[in-house]
């Protein structure tokens, strides 16, 4: 069987992620890893989840939890999320919420909803690797979104048309983005709405890290700013992707899209055709845990991760040689380093693993155009402050050599 | 916001399923429903699941269960499935298994893997509605698969080429299919391999109901017959889709694809990009329940559903007027009726709901070409034998009027 003969054209775009292959090699004993961007499992609210699963069965809801359920998602969970979105400045109802299997699935569905081959998606350089991976399946062209607004809307539209498609959406991770840790300020968010209005495109607002702010004031979601202009979520073009993976736990695969009803209705049909619905029992467990411990748990996470971020920032200041710069994140899990232009992150990783036993992720893979060779991503989510200092000291020694 | 402007071309193919909309209206008190094709929740092994979730946390595996995990799926579950596939005549290893979020997701991924717009998928008339729904997202052309082999391979290939694509796969539900209840005999399965070999296409073998056989001898899966010819699963073109939704419980969303490694490797990349992985905790719970109660639980299901099938067959024989025919299923959940040619299943449903308070599913939606107006699908999975007799008696009265 020559499988290539029956594969679709999209398969040419779906290659193994270098980073994920790399990460498999990095989980070795003795290595200090700043590579993975995952939550610390020691911080999961496991007692709350244990109680939630137990209560489902002891309260006689076992049959409901084990049965098929509606594609939109579990009603009490959609209601809780609608309330939480309201707290973030996004008044809405459960009819504006679709439950997805993590926000990764939301990105996949949004690519599927909007992209035909040759259409243009505006993304940052660098941007979340998983967004590019999800969108690639729908064979888009990428154009570089400039949040500073130094390209005109007409410029984007012309380039898309010349490539044989249309700009369909601008994708952006708004708070403490993976990989850069950057947060879009309010003025930039407003400018993105202007751009989307002019181009008549959608905005995909990836808010996966939203709950993990360690300092500074919360900035309203783009969706909130758009509602403030237009009066109602149903008049808005922003599709907000939220997740419980960073705030509660990723292993249940529960996230959501919050958006105008016409978009949600079409996404519900898409979900019905693609996997019927997300796990019933997990949606019930998340609804229970969210409604009991969400705020106190997130407060604990913020305190813990803030200390790790501070330790890494202090260690970088102490140990990095001149010529290395980084972005101070106000939250999230990542610090993004720019090395001197002549250096290559992948080469540095090879030497770091061999000589210093420190792991991180080279930055090139986050760039849709293959640039960014002299960048690296460090995660502070998994190590304690003492280990962080030791790891950064070793990395600094390597960069100073 | 004019959403149509940013939607992809595939959205034109993704319409609301009439049946699913209908099913929402049918769950009313006082109606005898043969409409839904879902397992009886009173038969779920809920104690086994309660124990499994409890043991995960009390055995110190809570952090693992709540964390991200690999896209391929949970290793002990893949090993259990590989063993079960071996029992079915399909020797394989865990590297031939991808865990999906139900077999519905497997169908979605297989469409995504193989179909570019205009490619041809061979499907039965009628066929599983959810397969058409999943494939539609990839904008295929459908051609009618004739299991009796009265069309030549060249005929299929020419028609596909004339339509601007290539035949990519033949899809078939092999055991007690939804909606017809039919089982492909061994000779037909062998002929399907011949056809696929000649066309050099894949075979999607949907085995969602495989465990629910109530009489007769098990027929080896197409994949088993192909391995017997070719020596190894990795030389085979059949992609077997399995599910725990009918044998254990659907609410956890756990199914699998079993196939040659080159196909599985590409599907793993696809899953990584689409939703990272299926729920870790649910895969662990299913692995525990499957490895402890699978055989005994399935034996109980067979006894219970067999009695319901027999009750429905007896009632049909007693109450249906001449001119109505049906297929006797050897397992599964469905009996497929053909009404006199002049009758319409949708009209009959409207009258049945009004006059007799009996629900079922009209058969037209299962036909990719919109034919089948004089067919209806009855499910015996949810009602007890006495209710089944009463419902069929009422339906018979309506058809005799």
A264 touches A95 (CB < 8 A) = yes
Residues B366 and B246 occupy one common structural domain? no
CB contact under 8 A, B41 and A266: no
Q: How far is residue B122's CA from residue A309's CA, in Å, rounded to a whole number?
A: 55
Instruction: Please report residues of A whose CB lies closer than 8 A to that of B66.
Output: 41, 44, 46, 49, 249-252
What is the token pair recorded at A277?
């619905």
Distances (CA, A) of A385 to A378, B31, B61: 14, 64, 26
Interchain contact, A273 vs B130, CB within 8 Å: yes
Which of B2, B4, B8, B256 has the most A C-beta neighbours within 10 Å, making it the best mutation to test the interface with A? B8
Instruction: Please report, for chain B, how many H helices and E strands are present, in that order.
Output: 13, 13
Task: Count the neighbouring beta carbons within 10 Å of the beta carbon of residue A43.
Answer: 15
Residue B169 with chain A: CB contacts under 8 Å: 6
Number of domains in chain B: 2
Specify whether A127 is located in the same domain as A243. Answer: yes
Contact A90, A227 (CB under 8 A): yes
Q: Return the structure tokens found at B272.
A: 């990584």
Residues in A closer than 8 angstroms to B57, CB to CB, are 46, 49-50, 53
Same domain, residue pair B133 and B186: yes
Task: Check A270 against B14: CB less than 8 A apart.
Answer: yes
Residue A238 shares a structural domain with residue A286: yes
A306 with A289, same domain: the answer is no
Size of interface A-B (CB pairs under 8 A): 249
Whole-angstrom distance, CA of residue B253 vs CA of residue B243: 9
Q: B117: domain CATH number?
A: 3.40.640.10
Distance from C-alpha of A214 to C-alpha of A310, rounded to nearest angstrom: 10
Q: What is the DSSP code string of A108-156?
A: HHHHHHH--TT-EEEE-SS--HHHHHHHHTT--EEEE--TT--S-HHHH
Answer for the pair B286, B278: CB distance below 8 angstroms, yes or no. Answer: no
Q: How far is C-alpha A225 from the geometric centre of its chain's CA atoms?
A: 20
Cβ pair B101:A10 closer than 8 A: no
A223 φ/ψ sector (left φ>0, alpha ψ -120 to 50, else beta): alpha
* List of chain B residues whose C-beta atoms are within 8 Å of the C-beta of residue A115: 8
Taking the whole predicted model, whether its pTM rises above 0.90 is answered as yes
Task: Clarify whether residues B179 and B86 are in a common domain.
Answer: yes
Question: Which residue out of B20, B61, B275 would a mutagenesis test of the A interface target, given it has the greatest number of A Cβ atoms within 10 Å?
Answer: B275
Domain edge (last residue) among B274, B293, B312: B293
- Please check the confidence at residue B24 and state whether its pLDDT lies above 90: no
pLDDT reported for residue B149: 73
Tokens representing residue A216 in the block = 């500074």
Nearest alpha carbon to residue B282 among B105, B135, B43: B105
Tell me how far apart the alpha carbons of residues B238 and B170 are, in angstroms, rounded to a whole number: 9
B231 and B325 fall within a common domain: no
Which of A173, A152, A158, A151 has its CA nearest to residue A103?
Answer: A173
Same domain membership, residue B262 and residue B147: yes
In a structure prediction context, what are the per-residue pLDDT tens digits for chain A, which is 401 residues long? 899 999 999 999 998 876 666 766 666 778 999 998 899 999 999 999 999 999 999 999 999 999 999 999 999 999 999 999 999 999 999 999 999 999 999 999 999 999 999 999 999 989 999 999 999 999 999 999 987 778 899 999 999 999 999 999 999 999 999 999 999 999 999 999 999 999 999 999 999 999 999 999 999 999 999 999 999 999 999 999 999 999 999 999 999 999 999 999 999 999 999 999 999 999 999 999 999 999 999 999 999 999 999 999 999 999 999 999 999 999 999 999 999 999 999 999 999 998 999 999 999 989 888 899 999 999 999 999 999 999 999 999 999 98
Q: In this structure, are B73 and B103 located in the same domain?
A: yes
Q: Token pair of B33, please? A: 């429903």
- For the beta carbon of residue B148, count every other beta carbon within 10 angstroms: 8
Residues A136 and A271 reside in one and the same domain = yes
Q: Which residues of A touch B251 (CB under 8 A)?
A: 64-69, 279-281
The DSSP string of A223-251 is HHHHHHHHSSGGG--EEEEEESTTTT-ST
SS3 A84: helix
Q: How confident is the model at residue B23 (pLDDT cuts 50, 70, 90)?
A: low
pLDDT category, B20, cuts 50, 70, 90?
low
Distance from CA of B96 to the nearest CA of A (A): 15
A123 and A208: one domain? yes
For chain B, the straight-line distance linking the first and the last C-alpha, in angstroms and rounded, comes to 52
Question: Do A6 and B201 count as a contact with CB atoms less than 8 A apart?
Answer: yes
Whether A231 and A251 share a structural domain:
yes
Residues B280-339: tens digit of each pLDDT: 999 999 999 999 999 999 999 999 999 999 999 999 999 999 999 999 999 999 999 999
Interatomic CA distance for residues A339 and A252, integer angstroms: 37
Out of B237, B267, B293, a domain closes at: B293
Please confirm whether the linkage preceding A126 is cis (ω < 30° from 0).
Answer: yes
Which position has the token pair 């308070």?
B357
- Contact criterion met (CB < 8 Å) for B42 and A63: yes
The CATH number assigned to the domain holding A7 equals 3.90.1150.10
Minimal-distance CA residue of chain B relative to A275? B105
Domain boundary among the residues B268, B293, B318 is at B293
Range of the domain at B309: 3-45+296-400
């Amino acid at each position: 069987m020559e499988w290539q003969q029956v594969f679709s054209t999209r398969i040419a775009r779906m290659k193994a992620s270098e980073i994920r292959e790399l990460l498999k090699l990095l989980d070795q004993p003795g290595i200090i890893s700043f590579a993975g961007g995952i939550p610390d499992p020691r911080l999961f609210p496991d007692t709350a989840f244990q109680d939630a699963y137990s209560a489902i069965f002891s309260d006689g809801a076992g049959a409901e939890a084990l049965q098929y359920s509606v594609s939109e998602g579990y009603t009490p969970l959609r209601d809780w999320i609608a309330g939480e979105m309201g707290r973030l400045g996004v008044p809405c109802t459960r009819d504006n919420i679709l439950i997805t299997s993590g926000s990764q699935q939301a990105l996949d569905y949004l690519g599927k909803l909007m992209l035909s081959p040759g259409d243009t998606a505006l993304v940052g350089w660098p941007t979340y690797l998983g967004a590019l991976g999800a969108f690639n399946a729908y064979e888009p062209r990428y154009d570089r979104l400039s949040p500073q607004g130094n390209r005109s809307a007409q410029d984007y539209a012309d380039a898309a048309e010349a490539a044989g498609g249309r700009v369909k959406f601008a994708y952006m991770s708004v708070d403490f983005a993976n990989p850069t840790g950057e947060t879009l300020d309010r003025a930039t968010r407003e400018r993105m709405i202007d751009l989307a209005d002019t181009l008549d495109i959608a905005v995909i607002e990836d808010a996966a890290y939203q709950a993990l702010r360690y300092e500074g004031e919360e900035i309203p979601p783009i969706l909130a700013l758009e509602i403030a202009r237009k009066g109602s979520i149903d008049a808005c073009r922003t599709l907000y992707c939220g997740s419980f993976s960073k705030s509660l736990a990723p292993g249940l695969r529960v996230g959501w899209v919050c958006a105008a009803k016409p978009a949600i209705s079409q996404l519900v049909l898409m979900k019905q055709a693609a996997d019927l619905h997300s796990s019933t029992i997990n949606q019930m467990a998340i609804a229970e845990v969210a409604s009991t411990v969400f705020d106190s748990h997130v407060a604990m996470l913020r305190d813990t991760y803030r200390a790790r971020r501070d330790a890494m920032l202090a260690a970088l200041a102490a140990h990095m040689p001149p010529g290395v710069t980084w972005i101070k994140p106000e939250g999230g899990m990542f610090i993004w380093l720019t090395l001197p232009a002549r250096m290559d992150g992948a080469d540095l990783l090879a030497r770091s693993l061999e000589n210093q036993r420190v792991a991180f992720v080279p930055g090139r893979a986050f760039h849709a155009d293959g640039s960014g060779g002299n960048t690296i991503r460090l995660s502070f989510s998994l190590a304690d402050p003492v280990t962080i200092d030791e790891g950064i000291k070793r990395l600094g020694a390597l960069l100073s050599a």
